[in-house]
C-alpha cells in the first residue's frame, strides 16, 4: 500500500473514532510529522580490556605481554593500536615485535597506551608492564682453601722491555695454567707456571675437589737447574707423540728457553727439548700455545704466540707454526711459518718499530679450529693493537689471510674463546679486549671493548653490541661454557690491569670478572656477582672444566693476589641434566683434535669441537660437558677428523660417555 492509500484508510478509521492525529497517521504509514529526515542511530563506543599489570622477561624478543579483548555494542569492527613502536597488537595479544626485547637495566617498568577505535569513537587504556630481570640461577662456591691450591707468583728481576717508550711489563700478564688428565685417572689436573720466584706446580687432582702438588716428583718443577726456574708462560698439555699420555709444553719469556716434556706414562716427565726443534727458537717471548692437526697427517702440530717479538716480515720467520715430525717416539717439530704463509699473515698490517723495517708480533691467544667448516683447521689468534688475525687453511699446506679489518675490530684482543653460541653448527669467536665508558673527552682508545664475531660459513660478522657482551673492563682469559646446563653457551672472562699514570683515571685494577649468561634468545646478561665469581684481583689465565666429574663446569682462575694467586670456584648449580663426552681418536691424534660432537635434544642441536687452544696463557680440558636442560636423553653424532661418522641414539642423561673412533 502506498502512502496516499494508507492515509485514506487511516483517515476513515480516525474519523469513525472521532480522533484525527496527523502525526500518528504519518507514523503509522511510515511518514514523519516533520519535514526533517529521521535522526541516525546513536553510535556506541567500543570497549577494551587488558591486564593492567602484566610482566615480561627481559631479553625475550617477540614476547607476549598480555591478551587484549574488545567489544562494540553496534557490532562494528574494532582496530587496536599501541603508542610504542616496539610493540604490536596481533592475534588478540599485546606483544613485542619480532626482534624487539626489553632490558631491565634500561627500564624496569614501562607504560604503553592502547587505543581501540570503531572508526567513529575510540577509547584508551594505560598498560603498565613490569620487566623481569633475567636470573639464571647459576651458583659457584669459592672452594680454594679446601682444594689445597695455594701459591704466589712473581719474578726475581724486573723486565727491561719497553714499548713505544711505555713500560709494557710481560711479567704482569705472563705465566699461565694448563688443564688435562696427565695420569689418565679420569680427573682433570693443573700445571701452573708462576714466574721464576719459585718452581712450577703440577697439581694432581686426587678427587673431591682437592689437589696435591707433585711437580718435583714428576720432574717438571724447575727448568734452569735442580733448584732454579726460568720465567715461563703459556703451558699446554697435548699428546705430541701419540702414545695416549699428555705431554707438556712450556713457553719461555725474557729470552728464556721454551721446554718440551715427554710424559713417561708412570706419573713422571722427561725434558726432551734438545733435538725437539724448539731448542732453536729465538723468540724473546712465547706467551701462549695451541695444538691442532693443520695438515691432517694424524699428529698434533703447534702454534705459538710471541707478543712483543720483533721480526723482519720479508726475510724472518715468526716461529709461529711448527709441524709435528715426531717419529719412533722422538718428539720433534719443524718451523713452517714462512712456507705456509703464516708468518706473512701474522705480520700483515702490524705496527713497525720506529726507524727500522721490523714489525711487532703482537699475538696473544691462538687456536687451530675448523672455522669455515671443512676438515682442515684454520687459525684464529687474538692479538694486541689491531692485529687479531683469521687465517684460512687452503688444504694444501698453506694459509691465506682472510681478516676483514671492518669486522675484526677488537683493537686490543687478548683472551679468546670459540663456541657455537647460536646453535647453527659452526664456531663463533669471542675476543676479550678493553672497555671503559669515559665522560666527556675521555680516552676513546678503550671504546671498542670485547667482540663477539658470529660465524656464517666461515665469514665473521660483529654482533657484539646486539648481544650485550662489550663491557668487560681490561679483559684477559676467556672461555665459552654452559655453566647452568640449559643447553646454551655462556661466557666467562677475567680482567684487570695495575694503576699507572697513563690509565690513572680508570679503575682497571679493581675490575670485576665478567660472567655473561645466555638467556637462550641470543642475548647475554652479566651476572658475575649473583653467581659468586665477581673476582676483583688482576686476573689473567682461566680454565673452565668439570674438575669433580659432577656434570657442571667449574672455574680455575690465575690472578695477582699476593695471598694466593689461584682461585678455584666449584659450580654448585644442579638444576639441569647433562652429558659428559670423551673422545678417543686414532694415534697419533689420540685426543681427536678437530672432531665435532653434535648433540640433539628435541630438534635443538649443540655442537662442540675438540680444540686444544688458548684462552690466554691457559687451556681447557678435553672432556666436553653438554647441558640438556630438563631432557632425560639425547642423540649424539661424532664427525672425526678423518671424516668418519659415529651416530649414537637415545643416550641417557647424567653420565660420562666415552666414544672411540671406529678404527680404534
- Residue whose C-alpha cell is 480516525: 14
Residues 6+ apart with CB under 8 A from 603: none
Among the listed residues 357, 274, 282, the one whose alpha carbon sits nearest the alpha carbon of residue 315: 357
Tell me whether strands 656-660 and 577-584 are parallel, antiparallel or unpaired: parallel
Is the overall model pTM greater than 0.95, yes or no?
no
Partner residues linked to 203 by β-bridges: 190, 213
Residues 6+ apart with CB under 8 A from 378: 368, 369, 370, 371, 372, 390, 391, 392, 393, 399, 458
d(CA 306, CA 657): 38
Partner residues linked to 508 by β-bridges: none
d(CA 418, CA 293): 17
- Quote the pLDDT of residue 442: 52
By the 10 Å C-beta count (0-12 exposed, 13-18 middle, 19+ buried), 398 is classed as: middle
d(CA 15, CA 285): 125
d(CA 128, CA 500): 48
Question: Do the domains spanning 47-132 and 167-506 agree at the CATH topology level?
Answer: no
Residue 462 burial (CB count, 10 A): 17
Q: Could you give the strand order of the β-sheet that contains 459-462, starting from the edge strand earlier in sequence?
A: 416-419, 428-431, 451-456, 459-462
- The secondary structure of 373-384, three-state, reads CCCCCEEEEEEC
Residue 128 burial (CB count, 10 A): 13
Alpha-carbon dihedral sign for residues 153, 156, 161, 162: positive
Cell of 119: 572508526
Helices (H), 283-395: 342-347
By the 10 Å C-beta count (0-12 exposed, 13-18 middle, 19+ buried), 440 is classed as: exposed
- Which stretches in the chain have pLDDT values below 70? 1-43, 52, 159-168, 438-446, 500-506
The domain made up of 167-506 has a fold known as: Methylamine Dehydrogenase; Chain H (2.130.10)
List the chain domain ranges: 1-35, 47-132, 167-506, 580-660
By the 10 Å C-beta count (0-12 exposed, 13-18 middle, 19+ buried), 6 is classed as: middle
- Residue whose C-alpha cell is 631432557: 631
Q: What are phi and psi of 343, to 5 degrees?
A: -60, -50
| H or E element that contains 651 | strand 645-652
Among the listed residues 437, 468, 421, 431, the one whose alpha carbon sits nearest the alpha carbon of residue 451: 431
307 to 276, 314, 350, 382, 616: CA distances (angstroms):
22, 19, 12, 11, 12
Residue 407 contacts residue 462 (beta carbons within 8 Å):
yes
The count of C-alpha atoms lying within 13 angstroms of the C-alpha of 239, restricted to the half-sphere facing its C-beta, is 23
Residues 6+ apart with CB under 8 A from 47: 70, 71, 72, 116, 123
- Quote the pLDDT of residue 377: 99
Tell me whether strands 566-571 and 554-559 are parallel, antiparallel or unpaired: antiparallel
Among the listed residues 38, 28, 20, the one whose alpha carbon sits nearest the alpha carbon of residue 3: 28
d(CA 71, CA 16): 51
Q: What are phi and psi of 66, to 5 degrees?
A: -165, 160
- 3-class DSSP state of 5: helix
- Quote the pLDDT of residue 42: 63
Q: What is the DSSP letter of 457?
A: T
Q: Which CATH architecture has domain 47-132?
A: Sandwich (2.60)
Among the listed residues 294, 400, 285, the one whose alpha carbon sits nearest the alpha carbon of residue 348: 400
Q: What is the DSSP letter of 282?
A: -
- Quote the pLDDT of residue 288: 97
d(CA 517, CA 223): 40
Mark residue 627 as left, alpha or beta (left: phi above 0; alpha: psi -120 to 50; beta: remaining): beta
Cell of 450: 670485547
Among the listed residues 237, 208, 242, the one whose alpha carbon sits nearest the alpha carbon of residue 621: 237
Tell me whether strands 122-132 and 55-57 are parallel, antiparallel or unpaired: parallel
Q: What is the DSSP letter of 344?
A: H
Residue 319 contacts residue 581 (beta carbons within 8 Å):
no
Amino acid at each position: 500500500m502506498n502512502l496516499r492509500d494508507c492515509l485514506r484508510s487511516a483517515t476513515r478509521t480516525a474519523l469513525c473514532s472521532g480522533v484525527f492525529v496527523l502525526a500518528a497517521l504519518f507514523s503509522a504509514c511510515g511518514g514523519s510529522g516533520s519535514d526533517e529526515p529521521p535522526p541516525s542511530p546513536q553510535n556506541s563506543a567500543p570497549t577494551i580490556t587488558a591486564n593492567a599489570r602484566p610482566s615480561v622477561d627481559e631479553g625475550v624478543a617477540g614476547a607476549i605481554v598480555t591478551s587484549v579483548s574488545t567489544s562494540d555494542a553496534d557490532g562494528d569492527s574494532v582496530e587496536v593500536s599501541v603508542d610504542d613502536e616496539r610493540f604490536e597488537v596481533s592475534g588478540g595479544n599485546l606483544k613485542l615485535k619480532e626482534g624487539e626485547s626489553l632490558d631491565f637495566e634500561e627500564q624496569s617498568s614501562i607504560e604503553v597506551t592502547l587505543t581501540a577505535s570503531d572508526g567513529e569513537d575510540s577509547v584508551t587504556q594505560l598498560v603498565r608492564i613490569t620487566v623481569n630481570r633475567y636470573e639464571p640461577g647459576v651458583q659457584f662456591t669459592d672452594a680454594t682453601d679446601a682444594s689445597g691450591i695455594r701459591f704466589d707468583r712473581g719474578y726475581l728481576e724486573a723486565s727491561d722491555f719497553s714499548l713505544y717508550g711505555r713500560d709494557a711489563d710481560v711479567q704482569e700478564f705472563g705465566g699461565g695454567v694448563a688443564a688435562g688428565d696427565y695420569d689418565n685417572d679420569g680427573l682433570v689436573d693443573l700445571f701452573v707456571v708462576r714466574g721464576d720466584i719459585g718452581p712450577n706446580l703440577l697439581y694432581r687432582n686426587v678427587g673431591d675437589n682437592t689437589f696435591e702438588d707433585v711437580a718435583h716428583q714428576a720432574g717438571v718443577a724447575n727448568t734452569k737447574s735442580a733448584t732454579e726456574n726460568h720465567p715461563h708462560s703459556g703451558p699446554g698439555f697435548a699428546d705430541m707423540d701419540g702414545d695416549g699420555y699428555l705431554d707438556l709444553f712450556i713457553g719461555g719469556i725474557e729470552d728464556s728457553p721454551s721446554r718440551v716434556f715427554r710424559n713417561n706414562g708412570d706419573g713422571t716427565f722427561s725434558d726432551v727439548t734438545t733435538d725437539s726443534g724448539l731448542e732453536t727458537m729465538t723468540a724473546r717471548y712465547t706467551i701462549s700455545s695451541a695444538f691442532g692437526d693443520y695438515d691432517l697427517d694424524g699428529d698434533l702440530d703447534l702454534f705459538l704466540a710471541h707478543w712483543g717479538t720483533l721480526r723482519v716480515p720479508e726475510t724472518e720467520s715468526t716461529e709461529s707454526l711448527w709441524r709435528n715430525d715426531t717419529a719412533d717416539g722422538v718428539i720433534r717439530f719443524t718451523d713452517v711459518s714462512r712456507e705456509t704463509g703464516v708468518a706473512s699473515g701474522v705480520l700483515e698490517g702490524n705496527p713497525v718499530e720506529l726507524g727500522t723495517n721490523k714489525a711487532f708480533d703482537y699475538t696473544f691467544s691462538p687456536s687451530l679450529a675448523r672455522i669455515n667448516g671443512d676438515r682442515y683447521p684454520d687459525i684464529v689468534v687474538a692479538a694486541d693493537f689491531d692485529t687479531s688475525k683469521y687465517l684460512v687453511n687452503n688444504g694444501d699446506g698453506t694459509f691465506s689471510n682472510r681478516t676483514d679489518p671492518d669486522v675484526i675490530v677488537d683493537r686490543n684482543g687478548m683472551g679468546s674463546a670459540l663456541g657455537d653460541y647460536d646453535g647453527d653448527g659452526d664456531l663463533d669467536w669471542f675476543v676479550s679486549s678493553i672497555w671503559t665508558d669515559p665522560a666527556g673527552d675521555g680516552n676513546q682508545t678503550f671504546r671498542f671493548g670485547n667482540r663477539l664475531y658470529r660465524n656464517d660459513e666461515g665469514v665473521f660478522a660483529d654482533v657484539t653490541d646486539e648481544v650485550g657482551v662489550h663491557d668487560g673492563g681490561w679483559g684477559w682469559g676467556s672461555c665459552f661454557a654452559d655453566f647452568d646446563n640449559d643447553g646454551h653457551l655462556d661466557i666467562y672472562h677475567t680482567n684487570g690491569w695495575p694503576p699507572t699514570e697513563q690509565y690513572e683515571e680508570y679503575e682497571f685494577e679493581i675490575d670485576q670478572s665478567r660472567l655473561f649468561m645466555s638467556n637462550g634468545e641470543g642475548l647475554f646478561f652479566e651476572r658475575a656477582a649473583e653467581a659468586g665469581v665477581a673476582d676483583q684481583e688482576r686476573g689473567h689465565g682461566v680454565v673452565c672444566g668439570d674438575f669433580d666429574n659432577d656434570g657442571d663446569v667449574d672455574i680455575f682462575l690465575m690472578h695477582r693476589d699476593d695471598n694466593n694467586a689461584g682461585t678455584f670456584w666449584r659450580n654448585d648449580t644442579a638444576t639441569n641434566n647433562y652429558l659428559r663426552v670423551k673422545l678417543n681418536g686414532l694415534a697419533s691424534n689420540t685426543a681427536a683434535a678437530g672432531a665435532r660432537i653434535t648433540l640433539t635434544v628435541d630438534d635443538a642441536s649443540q655442537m662442540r669441537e675438540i680444540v686444544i687452544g688458548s684462552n690466554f696463557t691457559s687451556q681447557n680440558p678435553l672432556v666436553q660437558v653438554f647441558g640438556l636442560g630438563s631432557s632425560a636423553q639425547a642423540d649424539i653424532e661424532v664427525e672425526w677428523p678423518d671424516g668418519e661418522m659415529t651416530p649414537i641414539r637415545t643416550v641417557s642423561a647424567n653420565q660420562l660417555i666415552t666414544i672411540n673412533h671406529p678404527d680404534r
